[in-house]
Amino acid sequence: MPRPRKQQISLDATPFYHCISRCVRRAFLCGNDPSTGRSHEHRRQQLEDNALRLASIFYIDIAAFAVLSNHYHLVLHINRKPCLDATPRSIVARWHQLFGGTPLSQRYLDDEPIDAHERGPLNTLIETWRKRLHSINWFMRVLNETTARNANKEDDYTGHFWESRFKCQAVLDEPAVLSCMAYVDLNPIRAAMTETPEQSDHTSIKLRIQHWKDKAASTNNIEQSTDDFQPPNLLKFVGDPRQPMPEGIPFNLTDYLELVERTCRQIRDDKRDVNDGTFPPILERLTISPKH
């Protein structure tokens, strides 16, 4: 039997989790639907934009993502400590970006007087929101509900858009994190939707590559921090482990690109149309300067 969600998520064990949601009956409700002939490709961009927007509100980082025609993948990193250390005002302000809040919380943000008997309910409300703002369950709930409501309204349809609650798997160590991220970034290639990582629309690896290329093309300062060459809305690669260890993925971005490339070139009998080695190495294809 499936394990309860509270037993699948343990922040004491790992802050990284791989989440998957599939459309009902695995229909192509986010792509070109062959059964109806309709195109819903725009929903892939909408879902990507919504996920990145929510990551800026929740205390949750996106390490990798891939949005396909009938399902999507996320590798999430939970920032519990910054959430627990955040001020009450910051918590309320973030929550109000998601929902309307209450008249009491609105008065609090507007610096209106709060009576003594209202302090207790307000503090309880803030602590409830604090827990939700670093909860994968609430992150996925808001993302999936927003997508489903918008799609059903567009199609003038009622009923389920997602086939079930999202699937969630803990990613327990650094090698597992890298393997899981590479698996997610290679989903469009394994599904024969594209041939190379830099052509894989609606994936984190294309977003990382495009940001790097744009930044490298716009600056001649090769001494800039490596953070400047990474998109601000994704969890950053921070290089080799060191003390004190900065928050991020303990790996170099260029090494990760090569890892994805090597994995992509593997011959898999159970997968379609992988990169067969006819393309030059990824760093050569991207014309990224070794200095950068």
pLDDT tens-digit map of 68-81: 999 999 999 999 99
Please report the pLDDT score of residue 281 as a whole number.
57
Q: Picking from 106-115, 163-172, 232-241, which range would have the lowest pLDDT averaged per residue?
A: 232-241
**Rounded mean pLDDT of the chain?**
84
Residues 105 and 193 in one domain: no
What are 20's strand-pairing partners? 73, 167
Q: Where are the alpha helices (DSSP H) in 167-266?
A: 174-185, 187-190, 204-218, 253-264
pLDDT tier for residue 1 given thresholds of 50, 70 and 90: very low
Percent of all residues in the chain with a pLDDT value above 90, rounded to a whole number? 49
Into how many domains does the chain fold?
A: 2
Please report the pLDDT score of residue 89 as a whole number.
96
Judged against a pLDDT cut of 70, whether residue 152 lies above it is answered with yes
pLDDT tens-digit map of 91-115: 999 999 999 899 999 999 999 998 9
Residues 186 and 283 in one domain: yes
E strand or H helix that includes residue 138: helix 136-155
pLDDT tens-digit map of 13-27: 789 999 999 999 778
Domain membership of residue 207 (yes or no) is: yes
Residues 208 and 285 in one domain: yes
Please report the pLDDT score of residue 148 as a whole number.
94
Judged against a pLDDT cut of 60, whether residue 44 lies above it is answered with yes
Please report the pLDDT score of residue 291 as a whole number.
53
Domain final position from 101, 132, 163:
132
Domain membership of residue 158 (yes or no) is: no
Please report the pLDDT score of residue 276 as a whole number.
52
Of the ranges 109-118, 131-140, 151-160, 195-204, which is most confident? Answer: 131-140
Residues 114 and 198 in one domain: no
Residues 281 and 187 in one domain: yes
pLDDT tier for residue 286 given thresholds of 50, 70 and 90: low
Q: Which pair of structure tokens corresponds to residue 30?
A: 């986010």
Domain membership of residue 92 (yes or no) is: yes
Give mean pLDDT, residues 236-252: 76
Please report the pLDDT score of residue 127 as a whole number.
96
Residues 6 or more apart whose Cβ sits within 8 Å of residue 75: 16, 17, 18, 19, 62, 63, 64, 65, 171, 177, 180, 181, 184
Q: Picking from 17-26, 40-49, 267-276, which range would have the lowest pLDDT averaged per residue?
A: 267-276
Domain membership of residue 71 (yes or no) is: no
Residues 110 and 199 in one domain: no
Domain membership of residue 153 (yes or no) is: no
Domain membership of residue 1 (yes or no) is: no
- SS3 label, residue 123: helix
Domain membership of residue 274 (yes or no) is: yes
Q: What percentage of the chain's residues is helix, strand, coil (to nearest 5)?
A: 45, 10, 40
Name the residue range of residue 243's domain.
Answer: 174-292
Domain membership of residue 31 (yes or no) is: no
